[in-house]
């Protein structure tokens, strides 16, 4: 980290619960996951709305309007909810509907907002992050001129800026303090930022330490949303990142949000279940990808029939960890899901009776592709050469899929669309034409949102190798491209001298024939580290597994 960056962060300070933490990495919501760890506060609070931690993560505090109190909990392992227990300490706060709250940077002051009175109330604690001595009220500040319902409050670490979430106008309001953390010196900056386009019931907010990211939890959609501020802690410069994370599988009325001091964990309070939930928000460590060695690939003598579900399987894919496989086909116009008890091992696959029909949008679907966290699904249709986009409320669970009413027509370039692929960040899309034996390249101004796609006027022909291509894949860093087809029953390898730029592609004179197993290969994909390849075909409705390392 540069000296300039350190100085900027120190001057701006952090929001919420403490001084600038070491090792902070901005949460990666796109790859967040539930830890299957939670802690019920129902014995103390039946409507928990705010959740915060002490700086060392060994104490957790929860506030709600069921009892109008703040409760203190101890954690034997820092930030690990599975080790939490009630300390039998609590303190009453003013108001009939206390929602969110926060501490100053050293835990000697607590600030609570009340939805009914529109007040922010400041209290002192006799010991830092310890309710043993109760709370002593210092002063109050009304936000009634800005919003009639205050639902959360946070500060920057220096205490010179305060941000209050208004539930009535669905906005974050920004204030300045002439004396740090003294709300008797607060004045409104005349600056606010609306969150209504994402959620009409925003309940909680949090900033990253340097004030360049804002996170909001909303109860209308049960999701966390991410925003970027081009000027630190200036909400007038905020914009939505088109990144969100659903918590609806845990609680349908989420109410508060906070993070571990390094950004690797996220905690959501659930008003619907009276429970605090723990999530991992760091991007999973990528598998150590090694480009497949097609020249020395071999059949594993492992296969799996999908004939019981689909007699014309045309596309195949996996989830990130290889515990689920998916096929799509032209007989039933549906996506089917198959769990694997051993990741990436087809011999352990079974059908779980989960499928999703795309027939209302697409007859003869040819491929199925997911975004990085499995919350978006894309299906290509050879009829009309159109890509359709779907949302999954639970990542990689197609039983939760629904059509986004978003599609992208590539027929101006593509004749008979058979497959698509994305760059790792979703800002590039590639469509494979069966009719012209060509890969076409598109750009997306918002990653994985095909409504923002446009043609790059860039393409690459594979006619010299395959006159009837059916499937397309890239390696993770965009330096290799792979195409298979039904004319020669072969997978071909290409190199790109400029990453993810197919105009720079060239054939490597490397290929692998699958003719010994199937004569009509329609789709293929790789294991996350490149060491396995899976090919599906309509000659016998079967997926075949190969070793490629």
Tens of pLDDT, residues 258-295: 999 889 899 999 999 999 999 998 755 555 789 999 99
State yes or no: pLDDT of 17 exceeds 70. no
Burial class (CB in 10 A: 0-12, 13-18, 19+), 76: exposed
Q: Are 300 and 545 in contact (CB under 8 A)?
A: yes
State yes or no: pLDDT of 296 exceeds 50. yes
Per CATH, the homologous superfamily of domain 3-280 is TolB, C-terminal domain (2.120.10.30)
Determine what percent of the chain is predicted with pLDDT higher than 70: 95
Q: C-alpha distances in angstroms, 400 versus 302, 358, 377, 396, 406?
A: 30, 13, 11, 9, 17
Give the per-residue pLDDT at 232. Answer: 93
Q: Are 421 and 469 in contact (CB under 8 A)?
A: no
Class of domain 294-463+516-547: mainly beta
Q: How far apart are CA 186 and CA 508, in angstroms?
A: 66
State yes or no: pLDDT of 2 exceeds 70. no
Q: C-alpha distances in angstroms, 83 versus 185, 233, 271, 425?
A: 39, 34, 21, 36
State yes or no: pLDDT of 68 exceeds 60. yes
Q: How far apart are the first and last CA of the chain?
A: 37
Confidence bin at 356 (pLDDT 50/70/90): very high
Of 3-7, 258-262, 393-397, the range with the lowest mean pLDDT is: 3-7
Over residues 420-427, mean pLDDT: 90
The secondary element (H helix, E strand) that includes residue 426 is none
Over residues 422-441, mean pLDDT: 94
For residue 314, give the nearest of 103, 541, 504 by alpha carbon: 541
Give the per-residue pLDDT at 413. Answer: 97
Q: How far apart are CA 131 and CA 133, in angstroms?
A: 5
The phi, psi pair for 112, rounded to 5°, reads -125, 140
State yes or no: pLDDT of 11 exceeds 90. no
State yes or no: pLDDT of 341 exceeds 60. yes
**pLDDT tens-digit readout, 363-383:** 999 999 999 889 999 999 899
Q: What's the distance, CA 530 to chain centroid?
A: 24
Residues 6+ apart with CB under 8 A from 160: 13, 176, 177, 180
Give the per-residue pLDDT at 283. Answer: 54
For residue 49, give the nearest of 37, 61, 59, 39 by alpha carbon: 61
**pLDDT tens-digit readout, 117-173:** 889 999 999 999 999 999 999 999 999 999 989 999 999 989 999 999 998 999 999
Q: Are 374 and 396 in contact (CB under 8 A)?
A: yes
Q: What's the distance, CA 117 to chain centroid?
A: 35
Confidence bin at 23 (pLDDT 50/70/90): low
State yes or no: pLDDT of 105 exceeds 50. yes
Over residues 192-196, mean pLDDT: 96
State yes or no: pLDDT of 355 exceeds 80. yes
Give the per-residue pLDDT at 6. Answer: 25
Residues 6+ apart with CB under 8 A from 456: 441, 442, 443
Over residues 22-50, mean pLDDT: 88
Give the per-residue pLDDT at 25. Answer: 82
Q: Are 381 and 373 in contact (CB under 8 A)?
A: no
Give the per-residue pLDDT at 500. Answer: 93
Give the per-residue pLDDT at 24. Answer: 79
Q: How far apart are CA 404 and CA 376, in angstroms?
A: 9
Give the per-residue pLDDT at 4. Answer: 28
Q: Where are the domains of the chain?
A: 3-280, 294-463+516-547
State yes or no: pLDDT of 510 exceeds 80. yes
Decide the pairing of beta strands 33-40 and 275-280.
antiparallel
Over residues 334-340, mean pLDDT: 98
State yes or no: pLDDT of 14 exceeds 60. no
DSSP state of 415: S
Give the per-residue pLDDT at 286. Answer: 52
DSSP state of 295: G
Give the per-residue pLDDT at 28. Answer: 87
Give the per-residue pLDDT at 369. Answer: 98
State yes or no: pLDDT of 10 exceeds 60. no
Q: pTM for this one?
A: 0.55
Determine what percent of the chain is predicted with pLDDT higher than 90: 85
């Amino acid at each position: 980290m540069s000296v300039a960056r350190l100085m900027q962060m120190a001057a701006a300070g952090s929001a919420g619960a403490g001084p600038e933490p070491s090792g902070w990495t901005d949460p990666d919501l796109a790859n967040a996951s539930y830890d299957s760890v939670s802690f019920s506060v129902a014995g103390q609070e039946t409507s928990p709305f705010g959740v915060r931690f002490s700086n060392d993560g060994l104490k957790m505090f929860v506030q709600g309007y069921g009892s109008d109190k703040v409760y203190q909990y101890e954690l034997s392992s820092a930030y690990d909810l599975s080790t939490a227990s009630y300390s039998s300490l609590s303190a009453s706060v003013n108001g009939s509907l206390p929602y969110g709250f926060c501490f100053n940077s050293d835990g000697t002051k607590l600030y609570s907002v009340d939805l009914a009175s529109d007040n922010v109330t400041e209290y002192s604690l006799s010991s830092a992050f310890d309710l043993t001595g109760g709370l002593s009220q210092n002063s109050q500040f009304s936000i009634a001129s800005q919003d009639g319902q205050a639902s959360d409050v946070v500060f920057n670490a220096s205490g010179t800026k305060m941000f209050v979430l208004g539930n009535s106008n669905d906005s974050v309001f920004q204030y300045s303090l002439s004396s740090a953390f003294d709300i008797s010196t607060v004045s409104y900056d005349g600056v606010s930022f609306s969150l209504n386009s994402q959620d009409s019931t925003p309940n909680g907010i949090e900033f990253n330490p340097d004030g360049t990211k804002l996170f909001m939890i909303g109860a209308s959609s049960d999701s966390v949303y991410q925003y970027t501020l081009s000027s630190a802690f200036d909400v007038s410069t905020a914009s939505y990142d088109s990144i969100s994370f659903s918590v609806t599988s845990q609680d349908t009325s989420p109410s508060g949000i906070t993070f571990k001091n390094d950004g690797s964990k996220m905690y959501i309070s659930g008003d619907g279940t009276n429970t605090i939930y723990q999530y991992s928000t760091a991007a999973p460590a990528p598998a150590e990808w090694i480009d497949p060695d097609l020249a020395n690939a071999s059949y594993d003598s492992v296969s799996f029939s999908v004939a019981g579900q689909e007699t014309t399987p045309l596309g195949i894919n996996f989830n990130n960890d290889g515990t689920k496989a998916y096929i799509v086909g032209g007989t039933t116009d549906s996506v089917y899901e198959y769990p694997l008890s051993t990741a990436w091992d087809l011999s352990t696959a079974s059908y779980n009776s989960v499928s999703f029909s795309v027939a209302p949008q697409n007859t003869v679907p040819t491929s199925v592709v997911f975004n990085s966290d499995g919350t978006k699904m894309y299906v290509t249709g050879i009829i009309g050469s159109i890509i359709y986009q779907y949302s999954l409320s639970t990542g990689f669970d197609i039983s939760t899929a629904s059509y986004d009413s978003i599609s992208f027509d590539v027929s101006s370039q593509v004749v008979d669309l058979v497959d698509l692929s994305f760059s790792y960040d979703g800002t590039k899309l590639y469509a494979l034409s069966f009719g012209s034996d060509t890969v076409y390249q598109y750009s997306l101004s918002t990653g994985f949102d095909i409504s923002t796609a446009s043609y790059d006027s860039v393409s690459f022909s594979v006619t010299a190798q395959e006159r009837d291509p059916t499937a397309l894949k890239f390696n993770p860093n965009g330096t290799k491209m792979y195409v298979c087809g039904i004319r020669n029953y072969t997978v071909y390898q290409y190199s790109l001298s400029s990453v993810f730029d197919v105009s720079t592609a060239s054939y490597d004179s490397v290929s692998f024939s699958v003719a010994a197993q199937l004569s009509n290969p329609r789709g293929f994909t790789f294991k996350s580290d490149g060491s396995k390849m899976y090919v599906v075909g309509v000659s016998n409705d079967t997926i075949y597994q190969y070793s490629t390392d």
